[in-house]
Amino acid sequence: MSELYDVTIIGGGTTGLYTAFYSGMRDLKTKVIEYQPDLGGKVSFFYPEKKIYDVGGFPGVLGDDLVADVKEQALSVQPTIVMGEKIKALEKQEDGTFVLTSHSGEKHFSKTVIVASGLGTYDLRPLDVEGSHYYGGQHIHYTIQNLMQYTGQKAVVISENRVGLDWALALENVASEVHLINRGAEFKAVYGNDLEKLEHSNVHVHMEARVEKLEGTETALERIILDNGEQIQTDHLLVYEGLQIDKSLYDQWGLVTEKGRIPVGTDMATSLEGVFVAGDAAVYPSKTMLIASGFNEAMAAVNSAKSFIDPKAKSQVYSTVIYKHVE
């Protein structure tokens, strides 16, 4: 029979990772289940090279750096990490424990559950042109993680969204040459002085252009061919053409929802006893959709889970105790 955990966290973004850390601090046997192949959630996808200002103690921290620190913090308490699994069903057993079933049929057993999976899972839309399947993986990227891998390289970004624009501007500082391909006549979801930064950059911008073909050797991508016949030499291709969103299954799990989110009180308890929530999935009066809010909710959810498992346990622990535990 599969191992029984005290807490199973659904979602390995920044909120899920901090939840795992604090769960470990409360001496709870913890598992994290993440659908994506990497930890970090939306911060890794959308803000890796953007500064984040809403986390206390940081005058500004790059998304990638924040993810790396939160990941290191979580791993310090040695939770079990499961990647590439999407939870399709959550069932409460007669003994009060839970069975979580993934899309592959894998089952996970837990005394409590903390939902930290936002508004649902998502996949980035894959590039579908001649040669894209051949050069996928090493040469085609759907996130800009590890910026230094592009040092001195030629890079092409395909996007009509602010995400791609941000990537191109970040790459300008390390790559030898950067091209930005936009199939539309304008960029979507831009704000502030983004377009002005792009105009004054060295990024080569191609508007109303589409990639038709990728060419290269058996081991390396060498060039892309645009629909106007133009050839652009490149070593790496970064693609952001939107998301394929799979909405949350919270209502199917038996949770009361409100427009796709889970209403809670200050204890972060859902309508199903033993299931708690933190991060974007939670909703309550004056809710703020900030990373810092997710961290606070994570602590409240873990403390509630601890009390659910052991009603005699302390309601919370303090940072001095936590650091002694880590050391």
Where does residue 181 rank: exposed (0-12), middle (13-18), buried (19+ CB within 10 A)? buried
Find out whether 34 is annotated in a ligand binding site.
yes
- Listed in sequence order, the residues at least 6 apart from 135 whose beta carbon sits closer than 8 Å to its beta carbon are 214, 216, 221, 237
Write the CA distances from 51 to 130, 148, 202, integer angstroms. Answer: 36, 17, 21
Interatomic CA distance for residues 213 and 227, integer angstroms: 9
Q: Is 15 annotated as a binding residue?
A: yes
The answer on whether 280 is annotated among ligand-binding residues is yes
Q: Is-contact 178 204, C-beta < 8 A?
A: yes
Length, in residues, of the chain: 327
Does the annotation flag 87 for ligand binding?
yes
112 is in an annotated binding site: no
Residue 47 marked as a ligand binder:
yes
42 assigned ligand-binding residue: yes
- Residues comprising the binding site? 15, 34, 42, 47, 87, 280, 320
Binding region for FAD: 15, 34, 42, 47, 87, 280, 320
